[in-house]
Structure 1
Amino acid sequence: MGLLALFRRKPHERPGFALYTAAVGAARDPSLFGELGVPDTLDGRFDLINLYTGLLVRRLRADPDQRGAALAQAVFDAMFADMDMNLREMGVSDLVVGRRVKNMWEAFHGRAVAYEAAIDAGDAPALALALARNVWRGAAPGAVGEGDALVAGPAAERLASLAIAQARFLAAQPLASLLRGEVRFLPVPA
């Protein structure tokens, strides 16, 4: 490998970053925090970014074209490069950043698996429960009960409906647009 190879960009790096940036923008919709009552905290924002990025990665991985999976990896890489940078900007020491990023990766992966299973099964109630547990830490507005007896509540149910609609909307977008870093997300319904 020559020296110039160290400075060469990966083929999907720029569109992956653009797609991730769009997912973050959609996850920051003020209606999610206002009308749905998602906590406007570091954890609440992280969970919404996980949700939107997870939906995008799911769409890309499902594409029969192998470039979809490569682009999904580029989105994932952009997300965790951003998380690393944000932790450093918040003053987290270099010795701790790696562990925190690993914990974030594990949280992302666990949530993505749960959300994807519920979406693939068409199980909106299971998705609402997973969202209530993660986004609101079990305390979603209108949620009742705890643990296995948790009832998600209307806010988590609305977020689940939105996530399912987003998944369908993303599935209909052509890979050619996504490869250019162009993606659209549905607005949060009033």
Structure 2
Amino acid sequence: MLKSLFKPRPAQTAGRALYARVVEQARSPALYRDLGAPDTVEGRFEIYSLHVVLLLERLRGHGEAAADVSQALFDAYVSSLDDALREMGVGDLSVGKKMRKLGEAFYGRGKNYQEALDSLPDRAPLEAILGRTVYADAEDRSAELADYVLAQREALAGNSLEALLAGKADWRAA
């Protein structure tokens, strides 16, 4: 009986599994080597955030189960950010402030990415947000990264909702 009380809900398990797929995809060397994403703390934050946003967009509007998985995915992402800050030596008293700033940054990017994706087929807004965020301190290769984003968006659209709700997401190779 106690085992069932502490067993994670299926949405939590799926959200964690989807975040693991985000991590795997965001760590693809091709993103950094071929597309010039900066291999820095900030660059990785941008790439991880971009992939989370793409999955959240795919799940949006598909009912309560998808909303629960989306929340669990976001929770896994936030927990990972918190863990990363602590591993980098950020003190307990500063973690809350830094997490709030990261949360605000994520929500702003999510909103901007959604607006850019909603404006397709005009790619200019997508390339602009990629240039301002991912390539803020690097050579701007936003047109190439936009191609990647659109390919990943298409790949996620090809994933069945049932697979995503089970924590399985297939990305295209970077």
Q: Deviations over 1:50-69 (max 9, x none)?
A: 00011001111132x32111
Structure 2 gap ranges (5+): none
User: Secondary structure of the equivalent of 2:45?
Assistant: helix
User: Aligned equivalents of 2:169 and 2:61: distance in 1?
Assistant: 16
User: Secondary structure of the equivalent of 1:168?
Assistant: helix
Task: Return the structure number with greater relative CO, CA threshold 8 A, min gap 6.
Answer: 2
Aligned residue in 1 for 2:163: 177
Q: By how many angstroms is 1:115 displaced? A: 1.0
Aligned residue in 2 for 1:46: 45
Q: 1:19 is matched by which residue type in structure 2?
A: L
Normalized against structure 2, the TM-score is what? 0.91
User: Secondary structure of the equivalent of 2:144?
Assistant: helix
Aligned residue in 1 for 2:74: 76
Q: Where do 1:54-69 residues align within 5 Å?
A: 54-63=53-62, 65-69=63-67
- Alignment partner for residue 110 of structure 1, among 101, 108, 111? 108
User: Secondary structure of the equivalent of 1:185?
Assistant: coil
Q: Deviations over 1:162-186 (max 9, x none)?
A: 1122112212211111121111111
Q: 1:62 is matched by which residue type in structure 2?
A: G
User: Aligned equivalents of 1:58 and 1:50: distance in 2?
Assistant: 12
Q: Deviations over 1:77-110 (max 9, x none)?
A: 0000111111112211111111111111111111
Q: 1:165 is matched by which residue type in structure 2?
A: A
Structure 1 gap ranges (5+): 144-154
Q: By how many angstroms is 1:140 displaced? A: 4.6
What's the C-alpha RMSD, in Å, of the aligned pairs?
1.8
Number of residue pairs matched by the alignment: 172
Aligned residue in 2 for 1:134: 133
Normalized against structure 1, the TM-score is what? 0.84
Q: 1:13 is matched by which residue type in structure 2?
A: Q
User: Aligned equivalents of 2:164 and 2:50: distance in 1?
Assistant: 18
Aligned residue in 1 for 2:11: 12
Q: By how many angstroms is 1:31 displaced? A: 1.0
User: Aligned equivalents of 1:166 and 1:120: distance in 2?
Assistant: 16
Name segments (4+ residues, structure 1) moved above 4 Å. Answer: 3-6
Q: Is the 8 A contact 2:16 2:73 kept in 1?
A: yes
Q: By how many angstroms is 1:8 displaced? A: 4.9
Q: 1:182 is matched by which residue type in structure 2?
A: K
Percent identical residues: 40
Q: Deviations over 1:92-149 (max 9, x none)?
A: 1111111111111111111111111111221311101100100111x552x4xxxxxx
User: Secondary structure of the equivalent of 1:62?
Assistant: coil
